[in-house]
Structure 1
Amino acid sequence: MVRGKTEVRRIENATSRQVTFSKRRNGLLKKAFELSVLCDAEVALIVFSPRGKLYEFSSSSMEKTLDRYMLHAMDVNINKRAKEHKMKSETASLMKKIEQLEACKRKLLGENLESCTVEELHELEFQLEQSLSNIRERKYHMLAEQIERLKEKEKNLLKRNSSLHEMFNSETQLQLFAPGNAVSDDHDGQNTEVETELVIGRPGTC
């Protein structure tokens, strides 16, 4: 028979809660002992009952294991504080760089120039001229590429137009020389003769 899952929550009945605590405490101590023996691990287990009674297990010495834990926790805290200090220092450095970039951006836009020296103004002018040169070069390059694409498109369209024109002429010639569609030379030259009959006299006498 399969046991159902036990919902993990506080047991309200005091007697059932005490029985469960005793069973699971013994199981936990047994598992700690097995872990220390099977895996040669240093294990220390401390359990306080709801009434404050202490239960403990140590594979070697509880004091030595606790001292080792405190040293490890101290190292962890030191490393944590060192990392936090390093992160704060890097953050401050990045914020300073951002402020410098923002100030440079405002000056390039022509703002806050009152505090600039003549040398700084000359430097700003040089940077702006260099930027304009780069922008013009990029613009001309893009325009040249666009012109090349348009020329290629025009070439393709002319080629297609020529192909369609040749196809149209070929179909027209086939229709003209097809059987039953022959045209006489008189019609081609528009020299068709018209026969007329000349009658002299009063109308109705012939």
Structure 2
Amino acid sequence: MARKKIPIKKIDNINARQVTFSKRRKGLFKKAQELSTLCDAQIALIVFSATSKLFEYATSSMQQILERRNRHSGVQGSDISSTGQQQLGSESFDMLRKVVEDKTHELSQLNGQDLQGLTIQELQKLEELLQRRWTTISKIKEEKMTQEINSLKTKEAELTEENQKLKQNFYEQKLVREQRQCYESITSSSSDFPADNGSSDTSLKLGLRLFE
């Protein structure tokens, strides 16, 4: 059965467009790799998706191939003109802007946004990335909680020891006060008895003589 040809026009369905882009991009990179292997050619491909996501393929170094391309365009070494410098600066700015856009888009996807155009494989990779980050966050959280618990236990032990010292000091002071009060009570009781100067004995003797 002959393979059905797809009309070469923009695909309106977003999901179908994303699936087609993913398949054909991989096919394009595969053809570039085959061409490089068969013909010993150096190839560099740069592709931006509809969501501004960057995909690139190079048989060696992307930077080296771009520099080689610039040399063949008459832009080389110290002979770079001001126009060429502006062009390179503009290209560098565009690359940095694309990197920022890609990172911003990736961050929005991590926050659960702009996921409709992703394939199942890309969603699975995103899920695995979130799981790895969640595992890392959970590990750091557990370490922080363990440190906090150990710190609280140490503080509890210090407070318990201080409380025991305060109780011991309180009991010692209470015992001293009780002993002092007991001593003062005994001293006060002894001072209430009248002084014995022998007068009662003399009166008794005089009385006995009168009755004789």
Where on the TM-score scale, by shorter chain, does this alignment land: which range? 0.3 to 0.5
Structure number with the higher helix fraction is 2
Structure 1 length-normalised TM: 0.46
Structure 2 length-normalised TM: 0.45
Of structures 1 and 2, the one scoring higher in RCO (CA 8 A, sep 6+) is 2
Q: Which is greater in Rg?
A: 1
